[in-house]
Amino acid sequence: QVHLVQSGAEVKKPGASVKVSCKASGYTFANHFIHWVRQAPGQGLEWMGIFNPGGGAATYAQKFQGRISMTGDTSTSTVYMELSSLTSDDTAVYFCARDYLNSWNNFDNWGQGTLVTVSS
Amino acid sequence: QSVLTQPPSVSAAPGQKVTISCSGSSSNIEANYVSWYQQFAGTAPKLLIYDDDKRPSGIPDRFSGSKSGTSATLGITGLQTGDEAVYYCGTWDSGLSGGVFGGGTKLTVL
């Protein structure tokens, strides 16, 4: 059974960075892309980027270019998303999601979400 | 302001049918497959439809998807109170080279 388990909630000060992890199990880690999607309080879904665990490459949404990094560790089947220069606008729940078809069209399994709160 | 446009809310009675629209452009919906997600408060989204009109295993055939040009539609028949949730459409935008979602539609089953 596929599981994506994310790290716990974080509280950060403006200007700081946060690193959220997403540990995968129940499938071949390298075979499926992982996306990161965030959701601000009371708002909709916002796509942040995609990571290819097989090759290590990442593509980021234009909005986050320059302050986001996605990496992976094949030995632990874990993907990481680091966001820097945090502001209050970055307060949100961050989700990782598996892309079953690697087509940006089939997010079939999601992590439970990680709440990141940015506050002074 | 979302790239894809959805109505903020829809409602219908139990047992009835409802449709949720998702309007985009030639660089997103018209050019790429659309997926639909259901989200209950405080939980992660759940995949309902992918490749415009395909249902993952375990999703009842009460849920259907369609697409025409720059618009996509999610249909739900035999509405149940348990269907009350927020529904999102999503696709890839070739112009932005990024993923985009609609703003979400809250379904109320009266």
The 3-state secondary structure of chain B, one letter per residue: CCCEECCCEEEECCCCCEEEEEECCCCCCCCCCEEEEEECCCCCCEEEEECCCECCCCCCCCEEEEEECCEEEEEECCCCHHHCCEEEEEEEECCCCEEEEECCEEEEEC
* Closest residue on chain B to A114 (Cα): B44
Chain A residue nearest residue B58, CA to CA: A108
- Tens digit of pLDDT for each residue in B50-103? 999 999 999 999 999 999 999 999 999 999 999 999 999 999 999 999 999 999
Residue-level pLDDT at A59: 95
Farthest-apart Cα atoms in chain B, separation? 40
pLDDT average, residue stretch A8-29: 98
Chain B residue numbers with beta carbons less than 8 Å from the beta carbon of A47 are: 90, 98-101
- % of residues, chain B, pLDDT over 70: 100
Of the candidates A44, A105, A106, the beta carbon closest to that of B104 is on A44
How far, in Å, CA of B13 to CA of A115, rounded?
35
Contacts of A31 (CB under 8 A, 6+ apart): A54
**A106·B32 Cβ contact <8 A:** no
Do the bridges between strand A45-51 and strand A18-25 make them parallel or antiparallel, or are there none, so unpaired? unpaired
Return the sign of the alpha-carbon dihedral for residues B12, B14, B19, B21.
positive
| Alpha-carbon gap, residue A114 to B21, rounded angstroms | 30
Q: Considering chain A, what is the average pLDDT of its residues?
A: 96
Of B44, B47, B88, the CB nearest to A106: B47
Residues in chain B closer than 8 A to A35 (CB atoms) = 99
Residue A105 pLDDT grade (very low, low, confident, very high; cuts 50, 70, 90):
confident
How many other C-beta atoms lie within 10 A of the C-beta of residue A7? 17
Which residues pair with residue A20 across a beta bridge? A81
Asked if B101's CB is within 8 angstroms of A46's CB, the reply is yes
For chains A and B, CB pairs below 8 A equal 70
pLDDT digits (tens, 9 = 90+) for A79-104: 999 999 999 999 999 999 999 989 88
Residue B1: per-residue pLDDT: 81
Token pair listed for A58:
């990442």
Chain A residues within an 8 Å CB radius of B56 = 106, 108
How far is residue A50's CA from residue A99's CA, in Å, rounded to a whole number?
9
Backbone angles phi, psi at B43, to 5 degrees: -125, 170
At residue B84, the pLDDT reads 98
Shortest CA distance from B6: residue in chain A: A44
- Name the residue type at position A68: I
Work out the pLDDT band at B12, boundaries 50, 70, 90: very high
